[in-house]
Amino acid sequence: MKKHFASLALTSLFALSCQASTTSETVANAIKGSTLAKESKVIEWRRHLHQNPELGNREFKTSKYIETHLRSLGLEIQTGVAHTGIVAILKGGKPGPVVALRADMDALPVKERTDVPFASTAVGEYYGEEVPVMHACGHDTHMAILMGAAEILSEMKDQLPGTVKFLFQPAEEGSPRGEEGGAELMVKEGALKNPDVDAVFGLHISAGTNVGEINIRKEGIMASVDDFKMIVKGKQAHGSTPWDSIDPIVTAAQIINGLQTIVSRHMPLTSQASVVTVGAIHGGVRSNIIPEQVEMLGTIRTLSQKDRDNIHEHVRNKAKLIGESMNADVEVLLPYSSAYPVTYNNPELTEKMMPTIESVAGKNKVNIINPITGAEDFSFFAQEVPGVYFFVGGKPLDTPREEAAPHHTPDFYIDESGLKLGVEVMTRLAVDYLNLHAK
């Protein structure tokens, strides 16, 4: 009964606000109250998802859990999108634009080391091996936040001037090798169509940002990412007679050194950052055998398409030419298994929605940040339609920044008091965008 009265109150406030000249203040207060009322539910959803993580393209139980909640709200549901994703549609009572809200669903092959009572003990399969699985990047919080926003928006649907699409996306961390997935596949399968989305919003929890704060910027906020594989082929020989070999290990070492000069000698570091990193090298079995082949894996991060193209050219050229100078053959696979474009915040849309973000968090809690070299496949949605992506603080206020465990690590920790800000700002962005663009 309390839930019924809360829903009626929210709907009534929204209806009154649409008739008044000070629409936004009344709606804001209604949404804030509903967010606070649902905070415990959002935390409960988050803990369940945290305790039951699944790897990319394998989020079967996760998807079913979310689907059950969305169906209880009476939404139109499409499942099996990009393998395990969900697209849910909330049609408002009035005509208007279509706005999409996105959350990612997958976890990582990381063994949890936190002492929270809902810590993960799950296991999964990664590259054919059994591995521990943990939500070590906060995707569990993203899903819970969007579930909360969906519930609030459903309670006010009769007064919404337009449509809201909820995108629950698998495999943001990458698909298993040989499979498609993630936002790129969702776009390919029409997640932004029927009805056609006009704008999309996404968020990421930040373990290094204070609870209550939001980090954002116009234009590029996160880097593009391309991984690469290099296969250096030489001639095997006894370790005591290296002159009989074409040594792929020495060649690989020279290539690695050469790659490090790309950023330091070819890129405009005073304007924006870029990264070329070799993260793995495999070759040889004994101390006295020069092997025939060495393989290397690496990653490239850039903040513009121009820089991306430039670095790709330099990586290929340096690897090939250094290989030739050593009489070795070098095969460069770039990209190898994943490639995300720059996560780009549409400047006009960002500017238009900044008053909403500042209204929710408080102007002094909204930080304009420099772009970061992490990557996000939300970028595929934002390539298709105007998008805005931002970070919501999840670091306890009494934890120094340097002591907060980074993302993708066993000790990754989120202060759940930060979830309500995520719920409120996503809900407000949807409502305010629809009102600003109502037909």
Catalytic residues: 340, 416
With residue 290 as reference, give the H or E element that holds it: strand 289-290
Q: How far is CA 140 from the centre of its chain?
A: 12
Residues in the chain: 439
Give the CB-side neighbour count of residue 118, counting CA atoms within 13 A: 16
Nearest to 46 by CA among 394, 373, 341, 342: 394
- Contacting residues for 291 by C-beta, under 8 A, at least 6 apart: 234, 236, 248, 249, 283, 284, 285
The phi, psi pair for 4, rounded to 5°, reads -65, -45
> Given the structure tokens 């060649």, which residue do they identify?
251
Q: How far apart are CA 318 and CA 312, in angstroms?
A: 10
SS3 content of the chain, % helix, strand, coil (to 5): 40, 25, 30
Q: How far apart are CA 142 and CA 422, in angstroms?
A: 8
The tokens describing 230, both together, are 């290099």
Q: How far apart are CA 397 and CA 401, in angstroms?
A: 9
